[in-house]
Structure 1
Amino acid sequence: MDKSKIVEIIKNKISEKIRNFENLITETRASNNDTKSSMGDKYETGREMLQQEINNLQRQLNEALYQQGLIQKVSADPSEKVQNGALVKTDKGLFYISASVGEIVFENNKIMTISDEAPLAKAMMGLRAGQTFSINNTHQTIENIW
């Protein structure tokens, strides 16, 4: 499988996520400015809630920017063992260890992207094709690694 194309799909998903968060923050800030009024404390609560929403969106944006930094460092070179940047086929599915952006579809294959911090990634880290591992009482065998 061509991992460089998978990396491109992930980069595009992360870039789209970043654009969405930036737009939401801009829109929320604009609505926060619209609520400024001389009507008193009633609107202060609304403005505070909007500010909390902006802070929440900013945290999510920062996480997406962190993921973007992670995916920039990932190598599309073939892997001999499970490591960051490895595409791993087990008897239960396909997993790409990099930035976690959920499920992607590539060449009619569903691939679950997972962080190297995910328990599943940690359970199979360093293993090679043919080896088995267990997580949550589920045994999996690594069939192939790209």
Structure 2
Amino acid sequence: MNKEEIINIAKTKLADKIQYFENLIAETRASNNDTKSSMGDKYETGREMLQQEINNLQRQLNEVLNQQAILQKITSDPSEKVQNGALVKTDKGLFYIAASMGEFLCDNKKVMTVSAESPLVKAMFGKKMGETFTINNINQNIENIW
């Protein structure tokens, strides 16, 4: 597996998410400005709801920015054990330990990106190739680590 390619896919995915949230925030702010009127309280309620939506989007954007910061610290150096930045193949799947961004395809293989804080990673953290771990009463064998 090419870890560098996986890192680049993850970075691109995060950059797209950041752009998406920034655009949504800008559009919501613009619609918030459009509702300014002296017509009464119902417009104030609408503006408050839009402001709450902007705050919610800003929180989501900050979360993605934190994920990007985590990913920036990760190198493509090979790993001997399960740790942040490792690509781990078990008998149940292929996991990239960085930030939780979901699943994507790389070389026609599904790669699940998971956070080091996830229960799955906590169960396998520090293990080496050939070792097993159990999560939700399911045993998994670590077949390879890059």
TM-score, structure 1 normalization: 0.99
Match of 1:131 in 2: 131
Deviation string, structure 1 residues 60-115 (Cα, Å, up to 9, x no partner): 00011111110000010110000000000000000000011100100010000000
Match of 1:102 in 2: 102
Cα distance in 1, alignment partners of residues 142 and 72 from structure 2: 26
Match of 1:61 in 2: 61
Match of 1:10 in 2: 10
Letter in 2 for 1:54: I
1:44-123 residue pairs with structure 2 within 5 A? 44-123=44-123
Q: Which consecutive aligned stretches of 4+ in structure 1 deviate over 2 angstroms post-superposition?
A: none
Partner SS, residue 77 of structure 1: coil
Partner SS, residue 89 of structure 1: strand
Match of 2:38 in 1: 38
Identity of aligned residues (%): 71
Partner SS, residue 39 of structure 2: coil
- The gaps in structure 1 that reach 5 residues or longer are none
Cα distance in 1, alignment partners of residues 104 and 42 from structure 2: 45
Cα distance in 2, alignment partners of residues 93 and 13 from structure 1: 20
* Count of matched residue pairs: 146
Cα distance in 2, alignment partners of residues 75 and 122 from structure 1: 20
